[in-house]
């Protein structure tokens, strides 16, 4: 999880040096999520369904190579995006007082968690010894930790 926070932090620094303020980024993200909510949910959930059914199909016939690489790539990408979303939520809260998890980020979080659990299911189909419990637990707790930090900082500040 640390490497994903490092990559997300480097992206934040690149945005800062690129001249983008957190208000501009939040406006773009909130507008994009509000304008494409139904399309994001439909395509995300259909994609997860396709990944899981494809992994069951290919796992049943013994063809593991390509779909395993796809599931592993999606699993890693979703972890990166969840860390970026958590870091962005903290930056938006401390800079603007806006809670990304509650102001439109819920749709994105639902899609990302569906992809995370779908990819974890696919990896479990291909390799029943693949270590998933710790990663799934830590990423499932991540938004609650962010919300707790936001709540506590709201009480302190």
Is residue 131 in some structural domain? yes
Mean pLDDT (whole number) for 68-84: 91
In a domain, 30, yes or no: no
Helix axes 37-61, 22-35, angle to 10 degrees: 70
Query: Could you tell me if residue 26 is inside a domain?
Result: no
Domain assignment present for residue 25? The answer is no
On whether residue 94 sits in a domain, the answer given is yes
- How far does CA 87 lie from the centroid of its chain? 11
Q: 29 in a domain, yes or no?
A: no
Cβ–Cβ < 8 Å for 5, 138:
no
Number of domains in the chain: 1
Which residue segment(s) compose the domain that 132 sits in?
A: 2-16+37-156
Residue length of the chain? 157
Is residue 95 within 8 Å of 22, Cβ to Cβ? Answer: yes
Taking only the tens place, the pLDDT of each residue in 99-134 is: 888 877 788 888 999 999 999 999 888 888 888 888
């Amino acid at each position: 999880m640390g490497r994903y926070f490092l990559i997300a932090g480097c992206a934040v620094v690149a945005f800062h040096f690129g001249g983008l303020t957190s208000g501009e980024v939040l406006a773009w993200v909130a507008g994009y999520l509000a304008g494409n909510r139904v399309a994001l949910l439909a395509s995300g959930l259909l994609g997860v369904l396709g990944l899981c059914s494809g992994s069951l199909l290919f796992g049943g016939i013994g063809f593991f190579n390509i779909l395993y690489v796809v599931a592993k790539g999606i699993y890693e990408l979703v972890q990166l995006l969840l860390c970026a979303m958590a870091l962005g939520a903290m930056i938006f809260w401390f800079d603007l007082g806006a809670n990304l998890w509650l102001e439109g980020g819920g749709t994105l979080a639902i899609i990302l968690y569906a992809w995370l659990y779908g990819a974890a299911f696919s990896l479990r189909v291909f390799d029943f010894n693949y270590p998933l419990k710790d990663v799934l637990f830590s990423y499932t707790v991540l938004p609650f930790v962010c919300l707790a930090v936001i709540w506590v900082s709201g009480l302190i500040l």
